[in-house]
Amino acid sequence: MPRAFITGITGQDGQHLAEFLHGKGYQVFGMIKGQNNPRAIQLAEEFPYVELIPGDLADLTSLVSALEYAQPDEVYNLGAISFVAISFNQAELTSNITGLGVLRMLEAIRMVGGVQNNPIRFYQASSSEMFGQVRQTPQTELTPFHPRSPYGCAKVFGHNITVNYRESYGIYACSGILFNHEGPRRGLEFVTRKVSNAVARIKLGVQQEIVMGNLDAKRDWGYAGDYVRAMWMMLQQDSPDDYVISTGETHSIEEFLTRAFDEAGLPDWHQFVRQDPRFFRPAEVDLLIGDSSKARKNLGWTPEVDFPSLVTMMVQHDLAIETAKLRK
């Protein structure tokens, strides 16, 4: 039975990946931070097959202990301070966890897996936010980085140190440059889930408005379930490499709003949406749109859920859970 170790197990991608790897016959270990993490109980109920191991990306010793215990064939480093807006307020913490955390994980792999012929395969969750003020459109693996947030800067470090450890120590390390991916498990702080959840609550009469930032921002949005499949595919190749994972389509937040309101059978969204400058980023990224032809050709990866189906899935999910809450 292959063994996988996931950091960020409580996050959107961690949950999708655990489910996916379990379906592939893996024994799955997940790292959980904090002495009383409220998400541990929910995880244990929903994913009884995941063995949770305490640890923190800020603490190298805990990473070494976790790897010694799990003895993984594959490590997926999904843990991060991942919300761009927070990274402006907590830039130092973001740099430490999202950036230096990658270095600590790679060092732990060297310590546990050995210096020569290290058997552990490593996946780093890099991000399209590294492209920021984009130098070319669409963005590929070769597009230069110009991050526009502390989060993006930390991810650039994580990406570069992953490539460096592959080149310096021969570690099988891949960096997946993933464009935005969403779904019903997305945290409520992220714009797509904020909208799908608010739309459900407005439909049910328990919320009156949504307060939003920049509605013109455009993103290349895919479905998280499709994207974790790409992570696994990267680690099954003969040699490690870096891949852009994206749909190649771009949609504005305004378009997401329009579809979400339509899906719930609500009238024109303009009367429910208020813009507040507090929700604008100090520096916005340009039009992000990815060219994933390398992944499509080398890995045989293609996304299966398109943008309209993604919005439908998220709104219907939130309608169901908000309705269930009202019935309690």
Contacts to ligand NAP by CB under 6 A: 7-14, 33, 37, 39, 56-58, 78-82, 97, 125, 127, 178, 180-181, 187
Residues 204/264, Cβ–Cβ less than 8 Å: no
- What is the nearest approach in angstroms of ligand NAP to the Cβ of residue 205? 29
- In the complex with ligand NAP, the residue whose CB is nearer, 18 or 199, is 18
Task: Give all strands of the β-sheet with 172-178 in edge-to-edge order.
Answer: 50-54, 27-32, 3-7, 74-77, 121-127, 172-178, 243-245
Catalytic residue among 95, 127, 196, 246: 127
Annotation says 127 is catalytic? yes
Annotation says 76 is catalytic? no
DSSP 301-318: ----S-HHHHHHHHHHHH
Residues 293/303, Cβ–Cβ less than 8 Å: no
Annotation says 49 is catalytic? no
Tell me if residue 143 falls in helix, strand or coil: coil
Which two structure tokens, joined as six digits, stand for 219?
């993103």
- What is the nearest approach in angstroms of ligand NAP to the Cβ of residue 180? 4
Which two structure tokens, joined as six digits, stand for 265?
């059978």
Q: 175: closest CA among 77, 105, 100, 242?
A: 242
* Residue 278 neighbours by CB under 8 Å, 6+ apart: 213
Q: Strands 172-178, 243-245: parallel, antiparallel or unpaired by DSSP?
A: parallel
- What is the nearest approach in angstroms of ligand NAP to the Cβ of residue 151? 7
Name the residue whose CB lies closest to ligand NAP. Answer: 11
Residue linked to tokens 């307020």? 89
- What is the nearest approach in angstroms of ligand NAP to the Cβ of residue 304? 17
Catalytic residue among 74, 129, 182, 263: 129
Q: Strands 50-54, 251-252: parallel, antiparallel or unpaired by DSSP?
A: unpaired
- What is the nearest approach in angstroms of ligand NAP to the Cβ of residue 116? 29
Q: Percentages helix, strand, coil for the chain, rounded to the nearest 5?
A: 45, 15, 40
- What is the nearest approach in angstroms of ligand NAP to the Cβ of residue 58? 5
- In the complex with ligand NAP, the residue whose CB is nearer, 13 or 322, is 13
**Angle CA(295)–CA(253)–CA(263) in degrees, nearest 5?**
95
Catalytic residue among 26, 76, 123, 151: 151
Burial of 12 (0-12, 13-18, 19+ CB in 10 A): buried
Q: Which amino acid is at 36?
A: N
**Cα atoms in the Cβ-side hemisphere of radius 13 Å centred on 38:** 0
- In the complex with ligand NAP, the residue whose CB is nearer, 202 or 288, is 288
- In the complex with ligand NAP, the residue whose CB is nearer, 227 or 261, is 227
- In the complex with ligand NAP, the residue whose CB is nearer, 181 or 203, is 181
- In the complex with ligand NAP, the residue whose CB is nearer, 262 or 284, is 284
Among all residues, which ones are annotated catalytic?
127, 129, 151
